[in-house]
A = this chain, B = another copy of it.
Amino acid sequence: MLQRHARRGGVRLSRAALVGGVETGGTRVRCLVGAGPDDVRAETTVPTTTPAETLGRVVEFFRAHAGRIAAVGAACFGPIDLDRGSPTFGRITTTPKPGWGGADVVGALRTLSVPVAFDTDVNGAALGEYRWGAGRGVDPFVYVTVGTGVGGGAIVGGRPVHGLVHPEMGHVPIARDAGDTFAGACPYHGGCLEGLASGVALRERWGAAPETLPAEHDAWRLQARYLALGVAVIAAVLSPSRIVLGGGVMRAPGLLARVRAETARALAGYVRAPDLVPPALGERAGVLGAIALGQALLTEHGYNSVR
């Protein structure tokens, strides 16, 4: 891979070109200049306050490295507009986060005068893990994050999947357990995967922060069951050999092992269960995925980009 090159605008750029990566999260924004996990030249974190202040500081950070970086990749919380034909391409759309509805992430980064790649935070994390982490060589590959919400990103043929919108794996309909009367935390669907198994759902259902629920609490049996149904759905539609399960909720002791056991139960031997593994890149998966998005822009066509 590192030996592949492409010609773009007359400049010979290596696959491992230095680029800027930015992961825009709900509480903090990670910025990195580098070419991968083993070649990080600079890194910073900026708190997510207002779009003007936050994106201003991001651009300022990258401007200090102007001339070294050949592109910027952005992996952004959403929903975001990924439709290149849309007048609001590159913006956050309808987020409940105050002030961020309509924030023009790509517009801010374009002021750096390098090509900008743009995708969701989860697709970024999926691409990062696919390129350098637990998803290497896995095609199709799926990354699911279970945190405040539940999201997923799919990499097929080396590229994040985009369709009508970015896939919203958190919103798969899920069969409730008999006797589960919790209304669900999703305002749209109630009992979708996010509605039943997100960090918010856990907190609302049990009236306690998930990290305070002991390992023997019934919450974790049910949590493992619902996540396993989500895994079974993904296995049925995409059949990945491996799925990374990340996000804060997945750090609960023993949860991953219970999800594996419940997945085997849900699939009932009809197909082999995908390997379920934790992320290998930890909290850097998203920003490293943004680096990969930026690099892909320099060597391939077809990613979301503006020039």
Contacts and interface: CB of A to CB of B under 8 A. Distances in A.
Central interface residue in A164, A165, A169, A269, by most chain B CB within 10 Å? A164
Contacts of A269: 188
B173 A272 contact: no
Interface stretch (A124-132, A204-212, A233-241, A288-296): A233-241
A241 B164 contact: yes
B173 A239 contact: no
A217 to B, nearest CB: 24
Contact of A237 (B139, B174, B238): B238
B140 A163 contact: yes
Given A174-B175, A175-B176, A238 B274 contact: no
A168 B238 contact: no
Interface in A97-137: none
Given A270-B168, A271-B165, A271-B168, A173 B237 contact: no
Contacts of A174: 173, 175
Listed residue (A161, A169, A176, A188) with the most chain B CB atoms within 10 angstroms of its CB: A161
A165 B172 CA distance: 21
Interface stretch (A22-30, A151-159, A247-255): A151-159
Contacts of A238: 154, 161, 163, 167, 237-238
Contacts of A232: 172-173
A266 interface: yes
A229 interface: yes
Interface string A173-192: 11110000000000011011
Nearest to A186: B270
Contacts of A171: 236, 270-271
A176 to B, nearest CB: 7
A234 to B, nearest CB: 6
A162 interface: yes
25 contacts: A152-B237, A154-B238, A156-B156, A156-B157, A157-B159, A161-B238, A163-B238, A163-B240, A164-B235, A164-B241, A164-B271, A164-B274, A165-B239, A165-B272, A167-B236, A168-B271, A169-B236, A171-B270, A172-B232, A173-B174, A174-B175, A188-B268, A189-B266, A233-B236, A238-B238
